[in-house]
Structure 1
Amino acid sequence: MTKYLFEANYVGDGIKGLMREGGTKRREALVEALNSVGGTLESFYYAFGDTDVLGVFEIPDQSDAAALSLMINSTGSVNVHLKPLMTPEDLDKAARKTLSYRAPGQ
């Protein structure tokens, strides 16, 4: 399973819905959506400033993560951004790979 950092902002009716339903109901809605793709919620926090809500979840398949992002963003009530997370061991594995690349102009 891949872990994802999510950052989201409520917009328009999403803000009204958040105020009406409260934060725990929105967290429950995310857990339900994650369950539908075999995912789990690790952390969920509200903030203020550039980001309204952020946290970490796990989803077994990259296409399921994309589907979840598309579904949430298509509502027009929330703008969500996902960032796949890597462990230090994942980075070690990537650093050991031999690749071929030519920089521009070289």
Structure 2
Amino acid sequence: MPKYLIQATYTAEGLKGVLREGGTARRQVVDRIAESLGGRVEQMYFAFGETDVYVVADLPGNAACAAWGFTASASGGLRTKTVVLLTPEEIDEATKQQVQYQAPGA
């Protein structure tokens, strides 16, 4: 199953919700979202800095991940950014691909 790193930054409204509900309640919500899409959360961390939350999740594919991001961002409580994660084995497979490429200006 594809793995994703979802980064979330809370809005002021979202932070009010975290202050009211706490971190473990937010983790339960995140777990339910992943499960509703046919996936699972591997890890979730709150953090200092520009990004407030990091989630590593296994999801069925890009469409499921996009559905999560659209729904969460549309709530107005946060903004998300997603990174597709690749295993070392997937990189091995990529390095064996034959690619037709010409560098710009070559």
| Structure-1 separation of matches of 2:5 and 2:68 | 13
1:14 matched to 2:4? The reply is no
1:66 matched to 2:66? The reply is yes
TM-score (norm 1): 0.95
Q: How many corresponding residue pairs?
A: 106
Matches within 5 A, 1:1-106: 1-106=1-106
| Structure-1 separation of matches of 2:81 and 2:64 | 14
Q: Which runs of 5+ in 2 are unaligned?
A: none
Q: Show structure 1 runs of 4+ deviating over 4 A.
A: none
Q: Which runs of 5+ in 1 are unaligned?
A: none
Deviation at 1:105, TM superposition (A): 1.2
CA RMSD between the two structures: 0.9
Deviation at 1:12, TM superposition (A): 2.1
TM-score (norm 2): 0.95
Letter in 2 for 1:91: I
